[in-house]
Structures are given as C-alpha cells and as structure tokens.
Amino acid sequence: QKEVEQDPGPLSVPEGAIVSLNCTYSNSAFQYFMWYRQYSRKGPELLMYTYSSGNKEDGRFTAQVDKSSKYISLFIRDSQPSDSATYLCAMKETGTYKYIFGTGTRLKVLA
Amino acid sequence: ETGVTQSPTHLIKTRGQQVTLRCSSQSGHNTVSWYQQALGQGPQFIFQYYREEENGRGNFPPRFSGLQFPNYSSELNVNALELDDSALYLCASSRGGAGASVGEQFFGPGTRLTVL
C-alpha cells in the first residue's frame, strides 16, 4: 500500500462546476499538507498549504484536512477551462525533510 | 522576489553518460530538495540540501549525488545514466533547519532529461 493514494482520473467536469479532489494517506504522523497544480511538462505550482486539521480557503480554492479519517480534499468552485491540469497532493511529518506526493489527478474542465 | 530557476530546460544524453542539473533557490530560502518525476507519476524525493550538506535521501542509488553552494544554489549529478533515468527533474526550495524543512515548498520549472 502506498503512503499516499490519489485517484489518477481523468476527471471531466463542465465549466462552472464544483470540483472535489481527494487524497487518502496511511501515516498518522503527517502534519503538513499541500496541494499543487501542474500543467503539462511544467513544474508544480503551490496552491494551498495547511498545517494539521481544518479548512483553509483562498479565492475559489478550499482545502480540507480530516486527520481522523486520514483524508484531505481540495475543492475548486466555479471551475474554468484554465483549471485543466494535474493536481498533486503532498504531505510530511513534523521534523522531517521529505514530502510524499500522490500520483496526481488529471482534471479536465470542459467549456 | 525571484522564484526557483533551473537549467537546462531540456537535455538529451546517451546511456552511460553523466549529467549535471542546476537550480537556484527562491530568495530567502536556504534549503533545496530534488525530485524525479516520471511520466504520469508524482514527484519522488531524491535528496535535500541544507547548509551545503545532504539533509536526507530517498531511495535513489549513490550515482545520484548533489551539491549545495554558499548562495544556496544546488546541483544534481547523475552518473552512469540508465534509460529509466529519463524523467522530469524538479528542484524545490524552502526555509529549513537541520533535519526538517518548514513552511511551503516551491518548485522550479524542471529539467526534462531524455536518456537514449
């Protein structure tokens, strides 16, 4: 079993839809959680950074962390064709150097 | 504020050759991590450098080595290239301390290495 599991998709939604992207993990010591967006053949771009549990909102993006279920989510409201990309989750333990990434979910927002 | 930069953008090498990839960290960041991203996969941690020393290493053989310089820029060296080394190599910078990185981690655009 991988430490971080992420459905690879592709996930296709119509423009304007609310998108829900998710990751599950097995290591209960993970405390730092990040979401990245990666366009084809480009480096990942940091979208959201969360410590421990709870919600965080930034514009159209909301990140949720449920440590009791070992489950994190990224919601995208009013999705746009420009949101079409691969979304990667990443997480790490306190006091360690290594971020563990999911395989990424490919999202397509159809105009 | 200057972001993370990497060079070269693309590189083609043949099996058995050696390659050096370069990274300049974001202003104010003292820690550099290197990742390998195969097509369709998430980034895999290679190693991290803090204060010019290797701070931690993933499951990569010793032919993957690195350096960090006093200005916090870094190099990734790969010897005896194999076909499976073909991937996007990503550099990420962050603020860190010994044994840990803190705060957000920002990536550069990557170097795409093709081994023939």
Degrees, nearest 5: CA angle B20-B22-B27? 165
User: Residue A66: what pLDDT?
Assistant: 94
Q: Do B107 and A45 touch (CB under 8 A)?
A: yes
Q: Is the pLDDT of residue B98 over 70?
A: no
Interface touch A34/B105, C-beta < 8 Å: yes
Q: Do B41 and A49 touch (CB under 8 A)?
A: no
Q: Which residues of chain A have pLDDT under 50?
A: none
Cα separations (Å) of B9 from A68, B42, B111?
42, 19, 5
> What is the distance, to the nearest Å, from the Cα of residue B87 to the centroid of all Cα atoms in its chain?
12
Question: What is the rounded distance in angstroms from the CA atom of residue B27 to the CA atom of residue A92?
Answer: 23
β-pairing, B74-78 with A85-93? unpaired
What are the residues of chain B with a beta carbon less than 8 Å away from any beta carbon of chain A? 4, 6, 31, 33, 35, 40-45, 48, 50, 55-56, 58, 88, 90, 96, 99-101, 103-110, 112
In tens, the pLDDT along B22-48 reads 999 998 888 999 999 999 899 999 999
Q: Is the dihedral of CA A50, B103, B67, B53 positive or negative?
A: negative
